[in-house]
Structure 1
């Protein structure tokens, strides 16, 4: 594998532990406490990492070695098998501190769920064991040149006792920091599989050319796959998660919603601190301090209420996923997809509203470069573009009015 770096981005590939030994978390309560500890560490350098585009390789080592990247692995395979309510709280806590770090495990966790739902027993034991040791999956799924997000031109073809995969990917969040790359590829029958290969596989080229104004340190650039060898244990029949009832689509979406809820939570807390410490009262308020302005107080109240509503729906969505992990049914999968879509709408709306209100309530000085507060809006606006919430309204309405279930794919 080669790693290409396009200036003016990072000047060298990130260095991280290639042979990790992770702690294994035992319970939901431990997962939450570990996430709180890490969030307190990550928030300290978040503004600087965003400003200077310092890739969080060391932070990701801390994150995955803590055991949090393996908490959804079932107890029967040595994991904690935590509730999806707990998982979303973990993602919210980390994303409130630094949403780039909070987003990076999304594709890893989605891949873990695909393996759980569709892989053979031998594959589950292999890959779950590696994840529990601290190894990370990096995404090579979406393609920039295909007709739409669900269309794949990357191919998976038989080659002796294994396979070869060839194509090009974009939005490859986490690939630059990963031990293994899971590649979405179409087999000769037209079915989408995950092809998992080592990061140093011959013909694999990870390119750090992510230039978005937000989520700057996710390094979500390109991956070129030039006839890369895939061993049989690395081919996961991901298509089965769409053909049959499964958690896969809802899992992919709920993690995205949790990132947005975390952005909103972190932004609202920063808004409160900024108003308390830096904002003058408006000339017509008759108050001594900015935080005494009745309109500002009301706006903070409105943000808190909307955040709590979004978080309540997110919790409901987590419980809906919990209900279909062991025995997914058509009805249960539809119910989970609907409530996850509802949560995605509200978390998107509060993330964008909160990051905009920060500047409205913080005033002109909140735009000064020394604070770098615009990173919150940039992150929210960028991340919420992952999949359009206008389609969430449609799917929720179509189910309520016409009884039509949402489609089963990672973007629904």
Structure 2
């Protein structure tokens, strides 16, 4: 049974109690979001109302640990939710990705007081955005965004780009360095003095994610809002959860492209000239390609599910070997979901024919979304990471490559 939590001045927020209900709610919302998704993309109409409905549904709180009142659903369920929403509207799928990544990181880095406060905010329907990347694609160790001690508190200043979710957020987690140069995450209220969120995202895909800039000038903070990153000095699965959400977004994009290809072939496409087929669905080469795409889809789903299962097993105080296996499995899933999304989005036009390129259908959004979102991190390096693990039993960070190789055992 869904519990309703009230947040002053806001809509009532549901608390979803189980994996099964989370999946049911995601499928229902996906049907609602899908109807107007092509128009939102065409007009670059930001999904403010949809984001509100999405977060108030309770789905943004499903990963909160049980000891803090959440359902603590499996990573497999999180991935399935992201795939469902992204198949309907991948911009809506991407907007909460950093929210889930933040909640996952709090499991490892937050103090009990910080966990209690921020997990309760998530259950109350408050959204966490993102302000991580900096101009020039600097690694975290080189970030110029800094937190300085001032009187009894702290002051934050810096400049961020690709800040997906920040425009719609209640809190913006900001990657920064402290006075000693150590990495921290600062939880900044969206409308705090000195915070400017600039909606200047002009990418040709994922057009309504509002992934623009955040400028921070003398933002005042207290200690509760500052979370040291990676202070426990051991590898964990937080980044793997974040990356698996990205894989699920690509999986949803590819699934939507494949579904539209089949629909177009059944309803509008003509058979290829010289094929002797009476209908586009009878063309033997079309059947071959649809078969190949279906196999690719199922393979990508299977590797995503496998990675999720390994992450679930490796959460908490698991062995280094278990965590390493989960990290590398996530890299493998990201390779297949990337390739599937790009291939399905490209094959759509080849198989569906000239009519599929008409602006009225706006089917190019699938390719634009796939091409844009899969640029998030470098898949060619994931092959490298998997190879090092498989051949040399060495683990590298397959997400940033900022850390040296290290033996898996130990």
TM-score, with structure 1 as normaliser:
0.93
User: Which stretch has the larger CA shift, 289-298 or 369-378?
Assistant: 289-298
Measure the CA separation in 2 of the matches of 1:150 and 1:295: 51
Deviation of residue 18 (structure 1)? 6.7
Aligned residue for 2:93, secondary structure, equals helix
| Residue in 2 that maps onto 1:14 | none
1:182-240 Cα deviation digits (max 9, x unpaired): 10001122221110011111110000000000000000000000011112111111233
Deviation of residue 365 (structure 1)? 1.1
Measure the CA separation in 2 of the matches of 1:205 and 1:322: 37
Spell out the pairing of 1:240-279 with structure 2 (5 A cutoff): 240=231, 243-279=233-269
Measure the CA separation in 1 of the matches of 2:384 and 2:11: 44
- Tell me, yes or no, if the aligned pair for 2:332 and 2:386 is still in contact at 8 Å: yes
| Residue in 2 that maps onto 1:5 | none
Identify which of 277, 285, 310 aligns with 2:300: 310
- Tell me, yes or no, if the aligned pair for 1:20 and 1:135 is still in contact at 8 Å: no
What value does the CA root-mean-square deviation take over the aligned residues?
1.5
| Residue in 2 that maps onto 1:330 | 320
- Tell me, yes or no, if the aligned pair for 1:203 and 1:225 is still in contact at 8 Å: yes
Residues 1:132 and 2:123 are matched in the alignment: yes
Identify which of 196, 211, 218 aligns with 1:205: 196
Identify which of 56, 59, 62 aligns with 1:68: 59
TM-score, with structure 2 as normaliser:
0.93
User: Which stretch has the larger CA shift, 160-169 or 77-86?
Assistant: 160-169
Measure the CA separation in 1 of the matches of 2:356 and 2:137: 40
Deviation of residue 291 (structure 1)? 1.2
Aligned residue for 1:23, secondary structure, equals strand
| Residue in 2 that maps onto 1:239 | 230
Residues 1:294 and 2:284 are matched in the alignment: yes
Aligned residue for 1:22, secondary structure, equals strand
Where do 5+ consecutive residues of structure 2 fail to align?
1-7, 403-410
Aligned residue for 2:29, secondary structure, equals helix
Are residues 409 and 359 of structure 1, via their aligned partners in 2, closer, same or farther at CA, if it must alter by over 3 Å? closer
| Residue in 2 that maps onto 1:97 | 88
Residues 1:280 and 2:270 are matched in the alignment: yes
Are residues 290 and 389 of structure 1, via their aligned partners in 2, closer, same or farther at CA, if it must alter by over 3 Å? same
Are residues 147 and 121 of structure 1, via their aligned partners in 2, closer, same or farther at CA, if it must alter by over 3 Å? closer
| Residue in 2 that maps onto 1:172 | 163
Are residues 409 and 271 of structure 1, via their aligned partners in 2, closer, same or farther at CA, if it must alter by over 3 Å? closer
Q: Which has the higher contact order (CA 8 A, sep 6+)?
A: 1
- Tell me, yes or no, if the aligned pair for 2:381 and 2:398 is still in contact at 8 Å: no
Deviation of residue 409 (structure 1)? 5.7
Identify which of 367, 392, 397 aligns with 2:382: 392
| Residue in 2 that maps onto 1:12 | none
Where do 5+ consecutive residues of structure 1 fail to align?
1-16
- Tell me, yes or no, if the aligned pair for 1:253 and 1:411 is still in contact at 8 Å: no
User: Which stretch has the larger CA shift, 17-26 or 330-339?
Assistant: 17-26
- Tell me, yes or no, if the aligned pair for 1:146 and 1:152 is still in contact at 8 Å: no
Aligned residue for 1:90, secondary structure, equals helix
Aligned residue for 1:392, secondary structure, equals helix
Deviation of residue 332 (structure 1)? 1.5
Residues 1:50 and 2:41 are matched in the alignment: yes
- Tell me, yes or no, if the aligned pair for 1:264 and 1:355 is still in contact at 8 Å: yes
User: Which stretch has the larger CA shift, 402-411 or 136-145?
Assistant: 402-411
Are residues 262 and 227 of structure 1, via their aligned partners in 2, closer, same or farther at CA, if it must alter by over 3 Å? same
Identify which of 101, 109, 122 aligns with 1:118: 109
| Residue in 2 that maps onto 1:8 | none
Deviation of residue 329 (structure 1)? 2.5
